[in-house]
Amino acid sequence: MRFAHFVLREQHLARRFAEKVRYRLSRESGTVTKPHGGRVKFALAFPSTYYVGMSNLGLQIVYRLLNNMEDAVCERVFLPDPPDLLELETARTPLFTLESQTPVQNFDVLAFSLSYEMDYPNVLKILSLSGVGLTSAERDDAQGFAPIVIAGGPAATFNPEPLANFIDAFVIGEAEPVLPEIVSVLSCSRGEPRPEVLKRLAAIEGVYVPSFYTPYYKPDGTLLCTKNAPGMPKKVKRRFEPDLKNYPSVSAIVTPETEFADMILAEVARGCGKHCRFCVAGHAYLPPRARAEADVIKDIADMRKLVEEHTGKAPRVGLLSASVFDHPSSLLICRSLIEDELHFSISSTRADTLNEDIVAALRSGGHQVITIAPEAG
Ligand code: SF4
């Protein structure tokens, strides 16, 4: 009797979590649902809650990139909110994706978008909740039934080593040039033994597979050297996309349930040419590339149409870059948004880029608070 009660409670908790997920989806504009059949299935994870993750443009860029590929389908997964986390653990329900509520362990790939090293413990939490095996070695023992775990993003590019035992492959650099090659490799290597698949992934420029590299340490614990397995490159080269023209860098999904609620995030430029030693943006995203004014405006207009069709309301716009007003046409972009009666704000800018025209445009766009970095650059 007590056992039956326990099972019913487990089912109730899992159902409650699934209902919450469906409610969230109903409030989103831009969600993609694609049939899984025959495609490489990605569960794209952000190692924090939905509220935090949905304000991350990197996650959204990867979501769009993968779902735009014919051979791939991508669904999202987040760290559950604290009360849900407890319930899921109590109900022993494996973590599932938002879009189709499919358990993560049924996907071909679990891909993490890593922006902050402070989120690394949450990566382990998601691996554990998903039941896919915590370490690469455990997944090797699963004889091909565990997803390949991949990580990318600025933190993965800058410092992958703390997660080297837990991640099967890192993307070093930008997703745009590497992801199509990963999809192609995974699509062609279905049914092959896991070590073979990892070898093929390691052959892609910009992909680092830690299990093919062995670190050696000095008696004081500092690194002596790293030896690569035969056939593996000694140094993994960072990849970047020279021309961002064909890659829309705006939000794929807009939702009210996030820090930047009901806001289209739009990247106006990538990287920064000032090279301050302490700054990731000044090193991980070189060379600096400004997106064409017309492309930024068109991408925002396309997304605005989609949001207005779904909500009946005009969204706000957030212009993103390491220093927005370093973009040569930033003022023209702002004026175009004002003309289209869109409220906008910016992520940050260097103090010496501000002038009266820019401040006037920010005021007309409804901007109230500005982050400037007087000590930098
Ligand atoms: S100017 Fe700012 S964004 Fe550019 S490298 Fe320096 S700190 Fe980073």
Tell which wins on pLDDT, 319 or 191.
319
Are 68 and 216 found together in one domain? yes
Kindly report the protein residue whose alpha carbon is nearest to atom 5 of ligand 1. 282
Q: What is the structure's pLDDT at 1?
A: 47
Asked whether 14 lines ligand 1 (CB < 6 A), one says: no
CATH of the domain at 324: 3.30.750.210
- The reported pLDDT for the residue numbered 4 is 52
179 and 105 in a common domain:
yes
Q: Kindly give the distance from the C-alpha atom of residue 300 to the centroid of ligand 1, in angstroms, as a whole number.
A: 25
Q: Taking 50 as the threshold, does the pLDDT of residue 61 lie above it?
A: yes
pLDDT at 294 over 60: yes
Q: Give yes or no: residues 138 and 258 share one domain.
A: no
How much is the average pLDDT of 2-21? 66
Whether 330 is in a domain gets the answer: yes
- Is the pLDDT at 173 greater than 50? The verdict is yes
C-alpha distances out from residue 346 to 260, 264, 330, Å: 12, 11, 10
- If one residue of 327, 350, 354 were mutated to test the ligand 1 pocket, choosing by the most ligand atoms within 8 A of its CB, it would be 350
- Averaged over 193-215, what is the pLDDT? 96
> Is 132 a member of any domain?
yes
CB atoms within 10 A of CB 60: 24
Residue 128 CA, distance from chain mean position: 19
Our answer on whether the CB atom of 373 is closer than 6 Å to any ligand 1 atom is yes
Q: Check residue 144 and give its pLDDT.
A: 62
Q: What is the pLDDT of residue 168?
A: 98
- CA separation for the pair 315, 50 (Å, rounded): 19
Q: Please indicate, yes or no, whether residues 264 and 208 belong to a single structural domain of this protein.
A: no
- 352 Cα: distance to centroid of ligand 1 (angstroms): 12
pLDDT tens for 174-189 read 999 999 999 999 999 9
On whether both 136 and 187 belong to a single domain, the answer is yes
Q: Assess whether 197 and 324 both reside in one domain.
A: no
196 and 271 both lie in a single domain: no
- Position 174 scores a pLDDT of 97
Residue 58 burial (CB count, 10 A): 20
**Cα 373 to averaged position of ligand 1 atoms, centre (Å):** 8
Ligand 1 mean position to 276 CA, how many Å? 6
Indicate if 152 and 300 belong to the same structural domain.
no
| Whole-angstrom Cα Rg for the chain | 22
- Specify whether 265 is located in the same domain as 161: no
Q: Please name which of 118, 221, 206, 117 lies closest in space to residue 169, comparing C-alpha atoms.
A: 206
**Cβ of 271 below 6 Å from ligand 1:** no
Give phi and psi for 250, each to the nearest 5. Answer: -125, 165
Domain that holds residue 55: 32-77+93-228
Ligand 1 centroid distance, CA of 287 (Å): 13
Q: Do 62 and 178 reside in the same domain of the chain?
A: yes
Pairing status of strand 169-171 against strand 207-208: antiparallel
| Interface confidence (ipTM) of the complex | 0.99
Tell me the percentage of the chain whose pLDDT exceeds 90: 79
pLDDT, one tens digit per residue, over 228-285 is 999 999 999 999 999 999 899 999 999 999 999 999 999 999 999 888 888 888 888 9
Domain count, the chain: 2
For residue 76, how many other CB atoms are within 10 A of its CB?
24
Pocket test of ligand 1: the residue of 279, 346, 372 to mutate, having most ligand atoms within 8 Å of its CB, is 279
Choose the final residue of a domain: 193, 228, 263.
Answer: 228
Domain boundary among 228, 261, 278: 228
Q: Does residue 322 line the site of ligand 1, with CB under 6 A?
A: yes
In a domain, 156, yes or no: yes
State if residue 95 touches ligand 1 by the CB under 6 angstroms criterion: no
pLDDT band at 374 (very low <50, low <70, confident <90, very high): low
Of 3-12, 48-57, 345-354, 367-376, the poorest mean pLDDT is in 3-12
Query: Does position 8 have pLDDT exceeding 80, yes or no?
Result: no
Question: Which protein residue's CA is at the shortest distance from atom 3 of ligand 1?
Answer: 322
- In whole angstroms, give the CA distance from residue 323 to residue 334: 14
Tokens in use for 176? 């745009």
Mean predicted lDDT score pLDDT of the chain: 92
